[in-house]
Structure 1
Amino acid sequence: MTAFAELTSPQIAELRDGPRKPVLLLPVGAVEPHGPHAPLATDLLISAGMCQRAADRLAGDDDLRVLVLPALDYGVTDMGASFPGVISISPETLCALIKDVCASLKRQGLDRIVVVNNHYEPAHVTALRTATKDAGVAYLDLLRRANVARLTDEFRSGSCHAGQYETSLVLADRPELVDTAVQRELPPVLVDMPAAMSAGHKDFVEMGMDAAYCGTPAGATAAEGKSTFDTLTDLLVELIREVGRA
Structure 2
Amino acid sequence: MKPYLLSETNWLMLKEFRYDLAVLPWGATEAHNYHLPYGTDNYEASEIAEKSGAIAWEKGAKVVILPTIPFGVNTGQSDIYLDLNINPSTQRYIIKDLLTVLNRQGIKKFLILNSHGGNDFKTILRELGLEFPDMLLMCCDWFKAIPKSKYFDHSGDHADELETSLIMHLRPDLVLPLEKAGQGKEKFSKIKGIREGWAWSERKWSKVTEDTGIGDPTKATVEKGQNYFEEITNKVAHLYLDICKLEGTDHYEK
| TM-score w.r.t. length of structure 2 | 0.80
Contact persistence 1:115–1:138 (CA under 8 A) = yes
Structure 1 counterpart of 2:123? 130
Aligned partners of 2:56, 2:49: CA distance in 1, in Å? 11
Percent identical pairs in the alignment equals 22
**Which residues of structure 2 form unaligned runs of 5+?**
130-135, 247-254
With over 3 angstroms needed to count, the CA separation of the structure-2 counterparts of 1:143 and 1:174, relative to structure 1, is closer
* Residue 40 in structure 1 maps to residue 38 in structure 2: yes
Tell me, what secondary structure is at the counterpart of 1:226?
helix
Structure 1 counterpart of 2:232? 232
What is the CA-CA distance between 1:110 and the residue it aligns to? 1.9
Instruction: Give 1:131's aligned amino acid.
Output: I
* Residue 74 in structure 1 maps to residue 71 in structure 2: yes
What is the CA-CA distance between 1:45 and the residue it aligns to? 1.2
What is the CA-CA distance between 1:58 and the residue it aligns to? 2.4
Structure 2 counterpart of 1:22? 20
Structure 1 counterpart of 2:252? none
What is the CA-CA distance between 1:48 and the residue it aligns to? 1.0
* Residue 7 in structure 1 maps to residue 3 in structure 2: no
Structure 2 counterpart of 1:92? 89
Instruction: Give 1:116's aligned amino acid.
Output: L
Aligned partners of 1:192, 1:242: CA distance in 2, in Å? 39
What is the CA-CA distance between 1:132 and the residue it aligns to? 3.3
**Which residues of structure 1 form unaligned runs of 5+?**
none
Segments of 4+ in structure 1 off by > 4 A? 154-158, 190-194, 196-199
Computing the radius of gyration from Cα coordinates, the structure with the larger value is 2
Deviates more, 1:84-93 or 1:174-183: 174-183
Question: RMSD between aligned alpha carbons?
Answer: 2.7
With over 3 angstroms needed to count, the CA separation of the structure-2 counterparts of 1:107 and 1:163, relative to structure 1, is same
Contact persistence 2:109–2:243 (CA under 8 A) = yes
Contact persistence 2:183–2:213 (CA under 8 A) = no
Aligned partners of 2:210, 2:202: CA distance in 1, in Å? 13
Count of aligned pairs between the two proteins: 231
What is the CA-CA distance between 1:166 and the residue it aligns to? 0.9
Aligned partners of 1:188, 1:89: CA distance in 2, in Å? 25
Q: Could you say which structure has the higher helix fraction? A: 1
Structure 1 counterpart of 2:185? 189
* Residue 176 in structure 1 maps to residue 178 in structure 2: no
Aligned partners of 1:192, 1:157: CA distance in 2, in Å? 17
